[in-house]
Amino acid sequence: MVKHFGWTWIGTVCSDSDYGNNGMASFLKAAEEEGICVEYSEAYYRTQPRSKLKRVADVIRKSTARVIVAFVAAGDMRFLLEELSQQPPPPMQWLGSEAWVTDPQMLRFSLCIGAVGVAIPRSVIPGFRNFLLDLSSEQAVKFPLLTEFWENSFSCSLKQQTGSSTAMPACNGTEDLRALHNPYTDTSQLRVTNMVYKATYAIAHALQGIVCNEKRDKCDKNIKVEPRQTLWPPMNL
C-alpha cells in the first residue's frame, strides 16, 4: 500500500513483541528494497513504563513524516492513541496491521479517521454463538477465568466473600447472557477466531486420516504420530 500510494517518507511503530518486531522487520526490509525512506522506527509494549510510551508519542509528534505504519497489537495501539490524544499531532495517514485496524474500540479515536490496512476476512462460525450463550453460572464457577467474566458482567458474586463490606451481592441464577452486549457475546467480528477454528479442524482431520486410514479396519488410537505427518503435501524427511 505504501508503494501503491507513492509514499516515500514514512514513520513506523510496532509492538515490542514477536508479533510486532517480526512483522516490522519484514516491512522494513521490503521498504528498503522499494526505496522507501523511514524517518523513525519505534517499538513499545503496553506493560513497559509510561515514560517509554510518552517518548514514542513525542517522536511521532515531532516527526515530519505524515504517514505512519503501525504493526501493533490492539491493546498496545489503544495505549498509544490515548497518549497521542493528550496532545494530538498534525493529521496523519495511518496504515494498520490486522490486529487493530478492524477493532471497533479504535473508532472512538478521531486520530484514526481515514486509516487503511489489511484484515482477515470476517466470518460466522455455525453454532458458536449458541454455544457461548449456553454458559451457566454452575459452569462458570468451575473455572477462575469464567468466574471473573461472570462476576464482572453481572456485578454479582458466584462465591460470596464473608466478612467483606465491599462484597458484591450473590448471583441469584437469573443472570442472562443473551441480555449482554459485550465482546464475549458479539460473534459478528470473528476473524482470527475463525482462523483458529479452521486450523483446529484441519489438524483434527489430518490426525483422523493418520489413525483411521483405509489400510486399517479400525482406528488405531495408540499409533505414534509425528508432526510432519499432519502436513500436506507430506514431508519426505
**Domains, in order of start, for the chain:** 9-117 (3.40.50.2300), 128-179 (no CATH), 192-230 (no CATH)
φ/ψ of residue 10, rounded to 5? -135, 170
Q: Is the pLDDT of residue 162 over 50?
A: no
Could you tell me the pLDDT band of residue 217, with boundaries at 50, 70 and 90?
low
Are 170 and 160 in contact by the 8 Å Cβ rule? The answer is yes
Determine the angle formed by the axes of helices 74-86 and 50-62, rounding to 10 degrees.
70
Q: Measured between alpha carbons, how far is 99 from 70 in angstroms, rounded to an integer?
A: 10
Report the 10 Å Cβ neighbour count for 63: 18
Are 17 and 48 in contact by the 8 Å Cβ rule? The answer is no
Helix ranges restricted to H, the chain:
18-33, 50-62, 74-86, 128-133, 137-140, 144-154, 192-211
- Among 34-38, 155-159, 183-187, 190-194, the range of highest mean pLDDT: 34-38
Could you tell me the pLDDT band of residue 175, with boundaries at 50, 70 and 90?
very high
Q: Measured between alpha carbons, how far is 224 from 218 in angstroms, rounded to an integer?
A: 16
Q: In the block, which residue shows the cell 477454528?
A: 197
Top pLDDT among 192 and 11 is at 11
Mean pLDDT, residues 195-223: 82
pTM (2 d.p.): 0.69
Q: Which residues of 81-214 form beta strands (DSSP E)?
A: 93-96, 116-117
**Sequence-distant (≥ 6) Cβ neighbours of residue 8 within 8 angstroms:** 35, 36, 37
Query: How confident is the model at residue 7, as a pLDDT?
Result: 96
φ/ψ of residue 137, rounded to 5? -65, -30
Instruction: Return the closest-CA partner of residue 114 out of 78, 72, 66.
Output: 66
Q: Is the pLDDT of residue 99 over 70?
A: yes
